[in-house]
């Protein structure tokens, strides 16, 4: 083989080997450059009968090969740095293999309300702004993709619907996924019970959870939870120290004096699970139906009380409209012999791609001669679905609110005679 052919063969072979070794790292532009160079070499060989490789041309080829190899080395050294940052449902950082990650989310809700109430001959009107919620959340993977964590902290909270307030930790949990549908979670978390409270507050159709849900909700707890998900149904259960208890320290009487178990089962009649993560049925989204059942039982060895609660619910999405219904029953085991009940009926319909009208009726019967009925009518303007929206709700109380200010302040209502009404305007950002 002649010297020129040998040098040409070495150059082409070197380029081919470089492409094989670093092909995964080279972008399309460099691969095209190599292909063009090969074509040029082949053309020159054919045109000049092999007497084409001058000393200058050989130097140019060596320079190109050196540059390609150097660029490939640079790209390889940047693998870890290029692996992980950006925005995908939250700002995230991730290792190259995805085993370690962190996603940061923020919820901010600013609300203005105007309340009109009457107590006897006294008429009261109150209005003002409030920083309803400011929440910072962290989540991601540790060790590998089967281990995940969640941390959320309320920097500000006005008249808490949940059992924590401003400057308090909400979620603090670690979950192990066994890759067969089963998961185990330990820490502090929202207890499985009702469909409404199982939904994040950022994804509601109304500015706030219903009063009925608030009265029957078992909130958060500290303990251990189990879950199983399949295509058709999913179940969750938890064992905690007590319902509606967070950020509690262990002491000599804990947890021996009380405990709570909570469970929820859901059956997907049609559709997909993802569409039930929010309360809306967006235009263009497929139809779906889901039914759920929740149970909670609590024991207090100090008072010998064994309270229990039950809820059943149904949700139907129609691709631009939806309905939801829930029924609640409770046995407080407080010696009164009463069994309070409650129910909610709600519906929503999109009148435009980004505008929805909603309505809800809810009622509570405490089984002791007191009943409360509430009606809410509202409209939502979605600038970026639930990431950026404005909601305006009009709420009306049909009965006297005798339960005390703490029961209704989170809805901007106060203890007053029947006929109380309130208007809320809320800006919600979730990113």
DSSP 360-374: EEEEEE-SSS-EEEE
pLDDT digits over 68-120, tens only? 666 655 554 444 444 588 998 899 999 988 899 999 999 999 999 999 999 88
Q: Judge contact between 21 and 13, C-beta under 8 A.
A: no
- What token pair was written down for 39? 């074509």
- Say what the pLDDT of residue 57 is: 66
Q: Which of 199, 271, 261 is nearest to 226 (CA)?
A: 261
pLDDT digits over 23-69, tens only? 444 456 667 777 777 777 666 666 555 455 566 666 777 777 677 66
Torsion region of 80: left, alpha or beta (phi above 0 gives left; psi -120 to 50 gives alpha): alpha
- Report the C-alpha gap between 157 and 321 in whole angstroms: 31
Report the predicted TM-score, pTM, of the whole model to 2 decimal places. 0.78
Share of the chain above pLDDT 70, in %: 80
Distance of CA 178 to the CA centre of its chain: 21
- Report the C-alpha gap between 106 and 386 in whole angstroms: 12
Q: Which of 288, 307, 109, 273 is nearest to 199 (CA)?
A: 273
């Amino acid at each position: 083989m002649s010297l020129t052919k040998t040098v040409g063969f070495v150059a082409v072979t070197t380029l081919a080997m470089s492409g094989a070794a670093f092909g995964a790292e080279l972008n399309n532009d460099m691969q095209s450059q190599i292909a063009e160079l090969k074509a040029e070499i082949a053309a020159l060989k054919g045109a000049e009968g092999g007497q084409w490789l001058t000393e200058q041309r050989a130097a140019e080829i060596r320079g190109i090969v050196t540059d390609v190899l150097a660029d490939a080395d640079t790209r390889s050294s940047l693998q870890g740095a290029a692996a992980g940052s950006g925005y995908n449902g939250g700002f995230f950082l991730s290792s190259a293999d995805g085993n370690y990650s962190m996603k940061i989310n923020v919820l901010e809700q600013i609300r203005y309300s105007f309340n009109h109430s009457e107590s006897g001959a006294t008429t009261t009107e109150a209005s003002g702004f409030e920083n309803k919620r400011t929440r910072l959340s962290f989540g991601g993977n540790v060790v590998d993709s089967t281990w995940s964590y969640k941390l959320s902290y309320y920097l500000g909270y006005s008249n808490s619907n949940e059992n924590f307030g401003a400057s308090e930790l909400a979620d603090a949990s670690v979950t192990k996924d066994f890759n067969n549908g089963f998961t185990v979670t330990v820490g502090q978390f929202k207890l499985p019970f009702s469909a409404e409270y199982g939904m994040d507050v950022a994804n509601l159709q109304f500015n706030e959870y219903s009063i009925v849900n608030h009265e029957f909700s078992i909130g958060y707890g500290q303990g251990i939870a189990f879950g199983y998900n399949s295509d058709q149904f999913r179940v969750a259960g938890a064992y905690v120290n007590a319902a509606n208890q967070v950020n509690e320290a262990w002491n000599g009487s804990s947890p021996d004096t009380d405990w709570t178990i909570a469970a929820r089962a859901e059956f997907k009649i049609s559709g997909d699970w993802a569409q039930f993560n929010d309360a809306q049925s967006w235009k263009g989204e497929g139809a779906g139906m889901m039914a759920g059942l929740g149970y909670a039982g609590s024991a207090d060895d100090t008072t010998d009380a064994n309270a229990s609660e039950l809820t059943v619910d149904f949700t139907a999405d129609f691709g631009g409209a939806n309905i939801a219904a829930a029924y609640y029953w409770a046995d407080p085991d407080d010696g009164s012999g009463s069994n309070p009940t409650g129910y909610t009926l709600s519906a929503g319909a999109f009148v435009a791609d980004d505008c929805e009208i909603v309505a809800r009726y809810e009622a509570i019967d405490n089984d002791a001669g007191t009943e409360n009925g509430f009606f809410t009518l509202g409209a939502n303007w979605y600038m970026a679905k639930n990431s950026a929206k404005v909601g305006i709700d009009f709420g009306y109380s049909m009965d006297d609110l005798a339960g005390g200010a703490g029961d209704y302040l989170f809805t901007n209502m106060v203890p007053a005679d029947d006929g109380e009404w309130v208007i809320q305007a809320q800006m919600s950002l979730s990113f």
